[in-house]
Amino acid sequence: MPPARFKHGSKAKAAAKVAPVRSSYNARSLQRRAAVGLLNGLAETVGVKKIIKKTSSPKVEAFVRRLEPRCQAGDLPARLRDAVLMFLSNGGVFYSKVLPAFAGDDPVALTADDADADCEAPPPLLRHKLLEQGFRLEAKAFMLTFNSRTFSAATWSGFLSWVKERRRLLGARRWAACWELSEHAIAGAGGDVFHGHAYLWWTDGVGLRRRNTDDLVFDGVRPRVDTCMCQATRGRALRVAAAQGLWYVSVEKSGTVKSAANFLAWRDYVPQAGWFRSLWEAHKLTDDKYAAYPLQVRAGHADRKRDIAEVEADERRRAVRTHVSSEMARLKAGGVFQDFRAFPEVDEFLRCFGDAPLCRRPVLAVVGGTNLGKSILAADILKRVSGILGVPDYLEVTVEGDAFLDFTDFDVRRHAGVLLDGIGDVTVLKHNREVLQGRPKACKAARSPTMRFSTVYTLCRRAVVATFDLSAANLHMLDTDHWLSNRKNVIQLRLTAPAWKTGPALAMPPPCPRATMQTWSVDNVASFLRGRDLAGLASTLQTSGVDGADLLNLDEGVLVKDVRVTPFGARKILRARDAFLAGR
């Protein structure tokens, strides 16, 4: 028996030999994990939700195949190549050959034309899967896609002849072909970019078996192959899956230039409603085409029509906002808008939205003639309120002659307030005073067409800015009405000059009461008297047709003799008139 020290020495030598191997293995394992981390980061960039946690070669390879068609622009190909090379150089194994563009062993294999062509992702075909390079082609139905910058619209005739000849030689029973404009490709010096699809379907129960795609090359271009991966070898499931692929090629989509087939929809098979919807959701069918095609599919037509209407309405709203924003940007860039002058009324209004707690806040009423910048100034004030409250936007409601305030679209989460533009009657503010002052309560905007629910909103700590033209009715109520004339309820800003800076600041003379009364109509006079609690006398003067000019010239004798009011009533009318003219 050898000495103990000899045995211990042997074990120590053996352990010394194994240690570097284990260290090397651990280092390579860590590198493979790092490569998987890079792949997961790339997946997050391109929008692939599924990630992998293990470094099993089959799972990593399948994950790479999913990323390949999505990594075709910018630095994405280089990032994917680096991650793959890191994985393979540290013990990873792929069971199918890596694409030359990623392996780096054949830089000529991927030409510039192929790289620039419209290599969009495969369509959402039922149970179709991209044929990976190195796999054996064995299918009963598949789609060929040809991309090349050398293709033009005139290539279609040659492509169609090639498809017919190829399907005859290969024994395919059913076929379809189409020629499409590559809408997402950047047009080069040669003009538009085109690509072609061909679908071949064997019904002999055998299909096509090939070790490569050498006999499927058209005009020197090797195709991408999408095979029908239906698990059934025969029966209805296989027919439906293959029919959808053939239908996808033959149907007129966005960008389709020409198409042909010998197995026609509605004659030889009935397309399913879901096929049309999948194309529409993939933005391969316009709204008009999607509305026209499903008319032939009776079931579910009302739902599809409603979906189209909702999408069109949303797209129209977005288009309006985009157009308005671009036009405003163009006007600002052209120097049309200038800085606004400082107004004490605006500063007082903005202070109401500070940190001080308030149960109610006043409405800012901007009054002035046309082309003085009332609406633009009001929008600028609301933007300043947005900065104070930390919300991005405001809601604009064009009122004019409508007394109903539609706040259905008001969202307290993103709107700092509302702009009531062009109100035609001052009484709109008074009739809606409980809502506009922003008391902390929930308000109902409107009921739904089915009367099942109503929109709820609140203007609590939200700004309300209203604009009035000089033609608005009852403007005098801003000075005479007990509620509207109170600055705690309404802050009035009258513009007699442009709101923006046009040189030295212009003095803003106060409105002349006599000139204001001179413009009153019969209804304005009646409304003025009602605001002074003289409703009965207001009806008498309204019946007699007394307007503002008449009221300025009336005396007690005329009121008693011609208008037929009592001497006591005449004195009350004259006291109300004189108080207004005196500014009380």
In the prediction, which pLDDT does 120 show? 38
The pLDDT tens digits for 248-283 are 998 888 888 999 999 888 888 888 877 878 887 787
Question: Where exactly are the structural domains of the chain?
Answer: 20-103, 112-268, 344-511, 517-581
For the chain of 584 residues, list the mean pLDDT of each consecutive stretch of 10: 49 54 73 88 79 76 78 79 87 61 34 35 36 58 90 93 92 92 67 90 80 84 82 71 88 89 87 80 76 66 72 77 82 77 91 87 90 88 91 84 74 89 87 84 64 71 90 83 89 87 56 81 84 85 88 88 88 89 78
User: Residues 164, 135: contact at Cβ < 8 Å?
Assistant: no
User: Residues 199, 167: contact at Cβ < 8 Å?
Assistant: no
In the prediction, which pLDDT does 14 show? 55
User: Residues 193, 149: contact at Cβ < 8 Å?
Assistant: yes
**Fold (topology level) of 517-581:** DNA polymerase; domain 1 (1.10.150)
- What is the widest separation between alpha-carbon atoms in the chain? 148
The residues pairing with 500 across neighbouring beta strands, listed in sequence order, are 340
The strand ranges marked E within 424-545 are: 443-447, 454-457, 463-468, 490-495
Pure H helices in 402-534: 427-431, 433-436, 477-480, 513-518, 522-531
Give the pTM.
0.47
CATH number of 344-511: 3.40.50
